[in-house]
Amino acid sequence: MVKMSLEPVQVMSGQVAELKVAPSSNGDSAGSWEGKREFDKDHLGLTAKPKPVTGRRARKVEGGVFFPKPENAVTVAVSSRVLFRTEREQRVFEQQGVEEYLRYQIEHENEPFAPGPAFPFVKALEAVNARLRELYPQSEELFDIVLVTYNHAHVGIRLINTINHHNLFIERFCMTGGSSPIGYLKAWQTNLYLSADANKVREALTEGIAAATMFMPEKMTEVSESQLRVAFDGDAVLFSDESERIFKAHGLDKFFEHEKENEDRLLDHGPLKGFLEALGKLQKKFYAKGQRLDCPIRTYLVTARSAASSGIRALKTLRAWGLEIDEALFLAGAPKGPMLEKIRPHIYFDDQMFHIEGAAEMGTIAAHVPYGIAQKHNSKHNTSAGK
């Protein structure tokens, strides 16, 4: 089983699949990400020679909205430690302190960071925005990406250089200088927060913000550059953990009995329901232009629920909420990793580390949602009826 840590982002050995972005470095992973490559023996590429930023790219939005208002946008806040690879810098901070860390960052500010686990997801968000701007040039209903970091403002120069190097469209920054970003996330009306800090993710969830802790898998499956694919677990992610509590307390037979008795009673919402709702809102803009079959957003429900015995309640709940899910996979307890390998999502959300680890073993970028009763039982040996 893959060993993973919550803090910082776990870097796993193996190959990195084709991300098809420009060459970059953060001192930990240098050289080209074009095509497959292996890290050096310490798995972090510390011996590689970094390549400097060669110049900035001017970014324009032809005939469209440049900065959507937070109340109109789908705001995704991403930590710098999941968008980029910052393992070496994190070690400098932990081993030598903040002053040496700031000095190191300033000295290396012309060396771009390499892509992290959230990078393909953010690129896919930008690809969707490009399509939306073609269809609705004046609409502010777009993905708005906010870079969130505990860093001091001095580090902002290196982050800006990196964003320009990778030609990312990220103009909103939140650099807190070590303070909690949660209050700012609420001000941004954040729809989703992705971080390497499990404690801050829990804090965000407590405040009603959809959030998840991201991990770097041992290998990374190549994902679509033209279609955003987002996969969700069911219980304690899209739905509440009500059914999971029945299973934990009374076992599988009682769980099936409970679901049969309550199949016409809707499940309560879970922490990621609002994000699926936001994705559905954008999908409908494509449907309205006759592009349902060519929609650049596709959503998936990947659950260990059984279809006949417990799946109907989940589907009825989604329908009552007015939410469409493009594909629903009821696995009846089978491993999720092989199915996710076929889906190739940019991100998969699950509340159980058992499933996160299984997804990571197959090369899927997975994000842990630390919510619900399963957090008291999370271990690699855990199984679940509902998930």
pLDDT per residue over 226-246, tens digit each?
A: 999 999 999 999 999 887 777
Cβ contacts of residue 238 below 8 Å, gap of 6+?
232, 269, 270, 272, 273, 276, 301, 318
Q: Which CATH homologous superfamily contains domain 228-384? A: HAD superfamily/HAD-like (3.40.50.1000)
Contact between residue 82 and residue 117 where contact means Cβ atoms under 8 Å apart? yes
Task: Give the lowest-confidence range in 49-63, 131-145, 308-322.
Answer: 49-63
Catalytic residue among 233, 235, 241, 350: 233
Same fold, 70-214 and 228-384: yes
pLDDT of residue 221: 85
CA atoms of 310 and 234, how far apart (whole Å): 11
What integer best gives the mean pLDDT of the chain?
A: 81
Cβ contacts of residue 385 below 8 Å, gap of 6+?
243, 244, 247, 252, 255, 256, 304, 305, 310, 333
pLDDT digits (tens, 9 = 90+) for 255-267: 777 778 888 889 9
How confident is the model over 151-178, as a mean pLDDT?
Answer: 91
Whether the per-residue pLDDT at 12 is higher than 70: the answer is no
pLDDT of residue 261: 82
Convert 145-172 to b/e letters by CB count within 10 Å (16 or more is b).
bbbbbbbeeebbebbbbbbbbbebbbee
Question: 70-214: what fold?
Answer: Rossmann fold (3.40.50)
Whether the per-residue pLDDT at 30 is higher than 70: the answer is no
What residue ranges do the domains of the chain occupy?
A: 70-214, 228-384
Half-sphere exposure of 285 (CA within 13 A, CB side): 19
Rounded to two decimals, the pTM is 0.81
Band the pLDDT of 318: cuts 50, 70, 90.
very high
CA atoms of 175 and 328, how far apart (whole Å): 39
Band the pLDDT of 151: cuts 50, 70, 90.
confident
Q: Is 42 a catalytic residue?
A: no
Q: Token pair for residue 62?
A: 């032809």
Closest CA to 218 of 87, 335, 116, 360: 360
Whether the per-residue pLDDT at 212 is higher than 70: the answer is yes
| DSSP-derived 3-state class of residue 232 | strand
pLDDT of residue 66: 67
Instruction: Give the residue with greater pLDDT, 9 vs 344.
Output: 344
Band the pLDDT of 377: cuts 50, 70, 90.
low
How confident is the model over 219-228, as a mean pLDDT?
Answer: 91
pLDDT digits (tens, 9 = 90+) for 105-121: 999 999 999 999 999 99
Whether the per-residue pLDDT at 308 is higher than 60: the answer is yes
DSSP letter, residue 261: H
Amino acid present at 190 = T
Band the pLDDT of 286: cuts 50, 70, 90.
very high
Whether the per-residue pLDDT at 37 is higher than 50: the answer is no
Count CB-CB contacts under 10 A for residue 58: 5
Amino acid present at 278 = A
CA atoms of 212 and 125, how far apart (whole Å): 17
pLDDT of residue 11: 42
CA atoms of 215 and 363, how far apart (whole Å): 11
| Pair type for strands 211-214 and 366-368 | antiparallel
